[in-house]
Chains A and B, each alone.
Chain A
Amino acid sequence: MTAAAEPDPQALLSVRGLTVEIAGTPVVQDVSFDIRPGETLGVVGESGCGKSVTSLGILGLVPGQGRISAGRVLFQGADLAASPKALARVRGSGIAYVSQEPMVALDPTFTVGRQLAEGVARHTGCGRRAARARAVELLGRVNIPDPAGVADRHPHELSGGMAQRAAIALALAGEPRLLIADEPTTALDVTVQAEILGLLRTLAAETGLAVLLITHDWGVVADLCDRAVVMYAGQVVEQADVEALFTHPLHPYTAGLLAASPHAALPGQPLPTIPGTVPPPGAWPDGCRFAARCALVTEACAVPVALTEPAPGRTTRCVHADRLVQEGTRR
Chain B
Amino acid sequence: MAILRLVGRRLVSSVPLLFLVSALTFVLVSLVPGDPARTLVGQHATAEQYAAVRAQLGLDRSLPLQYGHWLAGAVKGDLGSSLFSGEPVSSMLDSRLPVTLSLILAGTLVSGLLGVGLGVLSARRGGRLVRTVDALALLGLGVPAFWLALVLILLFAVRLRWFPVTGYVPLTEDPGQWLRALVLPIASLSLGGVAVIAKQTRDAVLDTLGRDFVRVMTANGFSPRSITYRHVLRNSALPLVTVLGVVLVSLFAGTVFVETVFAMPGLGGLIQQATVEHDIPVIQGAVLYVTVFVVLVNLAVDLAYSRLDPRVRAA
Interface residues of A, Cβ cutoff 8 Å to B: 56, 59, 61, 88, 90-93, 96-99, 101, 104-110, 118-119, 122-123, 154, 156-157, 167, 170-171, 173-174, 180
Contact = CB atoms under 8 A, between A and B. Distances in A.
Interface in B232-271: 234-235
Contacts of A119: 220-222
A104 B219 contact: no
A56 B212 CA distance: 12
A97 B310 contact: no
B220 A97 contact: yes
Interface of A, secondary structure class, is mixed
A174 B221 contact: yes
Contacts of A157: 310, 314
A171 B217 contact: no
B159 interface: no
B216 interface: yes
Nearest to B311: A156
Contacts of B212: 99, 101, 104-105
A131 to B, nearest CB: 13
Given A107-B231, A108-B235, A109-B234, A61 B218 contact: yes
A88 B221 CA distance: 7
Contact of A105 (B216, B218, B222, B234): B216
Contact of A104 (B213, B217, B234): B213
Ordered nearest first, which 9 A-B pairs have the shortest CB separation? A92-B221, A97-B219, A91-B221, A154-B310, A92-B220, A104-B212, A105-B216, A107-B231, A59-B219
Nearest to B211: A104
Contacts of A108: 213, 235, 309-311
A61 B219 contact: yes
Given A96-B220, A108-B235, A173-B220, A118 B215 contact: no
Nearest to A90: B221
A174 B219 CA distance: 11
A97 B222 contact: no
Contacts of A171: 220
B221 A167 contact: no
Contacts of B226: 118, 122
A110 B231 contact: yes
Residue from A61, A104, A107, A173 whose CB has the most chain B CB atoms within 10 Å: A107
29 contacts: A56-B215, A61-B215, A61-B218, A88-B221, A91-B218, A92-B219, A92-B221, A96-B220, A97-B215, A99-B215, A104-B213, A105-B213, A105-B216, A107-B231, A108-B311, A109-B231, A109-B234, A109-B235, A110-B234, A118-B226, A119-B221, A122-B222, A154-B310, A156-B314, A170-B220, A171-B220, A173-B220, A174-B220, A174-B221
